[in-house]
Chain A
Amino acid sequence: EVQLVESGGGLVQPGGSLRLACAASGFTVSRYYMNWVRQAPAKGLEWVSIIYSGGYTYDGDSVKGRFSISRDNSKNTLYLQMNSLRVEDTAVYYCARGRSGGSGGFDFWGQGTLVTVSS
């Protein structure tokens, strides 16, 4: 059974850092493209970052230069390193798997982890 479990969220001051983790089971993270998607309180979905099976990464404009996606193949875990956090980064962060073959949508999602940036 495919499962994604996020962790690492919490309260952090503006300018601070946090690292989110997404532990995968039931499939091999390195064989799929993996994403982070966030949702600010009472707002819509915002795509954040992607890592392809080959290792290529890309970040959305709002987090470029501050966030970094990575994975640990030995732990079958996806990460999001978040630096220079801003109040507007407050959101539930989801990890999501891209469908096999690189086409189609995000077929499995974690339950989300809440990041609150506040002084």
Chain B
Amino acid sequence: DIQMTQSPSSLSASVGDRVTITCQASQDISNFLNWYQQKPGKAPKLLIYDASNLETGVPSRFSGSGSGTAFTFTISKLQSEDFATYYCQQYDSLPFTFGPGTKVHIK
């Protein structure tokens, strides 16, 4: 199975900050990598698919990059509604696997 790691596991940031989260796959997954946002008590929401494609309706301050085993997720200017947990997910091969998540706290 492909293992996904994320760093950091949590971070504190202020509104307006640039936030970057990294995701590492245990083997080459090409660009088969997605990013989700989850708020407490809610279902996850797809933000980025295929490593760098913005899902319809998602603000352009969210972006993703990378391929192979190393990926980056960025929020260019953090907004108050962006405080949440973010997960990467590989779908290169079954079983699909999620990263452990990165919780973005208010500083």
Contacts and interface: CB of A to CB of B under 8 A. Distances in A.
A72 interface: no
Contacts of A99: 46, 49
Interface stretch (A12-20, A24-32, A77-85, A109-117): A109-117
B53 to A, nearest CB: 7
Given A45-B87, A45-B101, A104 B34 contact: yes
Contacts, number: 64
B65 interface: no
Interface residues of A, number: 23
Interface of A: 35, 37, 44-47, 50, 58-61, 94, 96, 99, 103-107, 109-112
A106 B35 CA distance: 10
Contacts of B82: none
Nearest to B94: A58
B100 A44 contact: yes
A1 B34 CA distance: 23
Given A104-B53, A105-B36, A107-B55, A47 B95 contact: yes
Interface string B45-80: 110111001010000000000000000000000000
Given A106-B46, A111-B43, A44 B96 contact: no
A104 B44 contact: no
Contacts of B96: 35, 47, 50
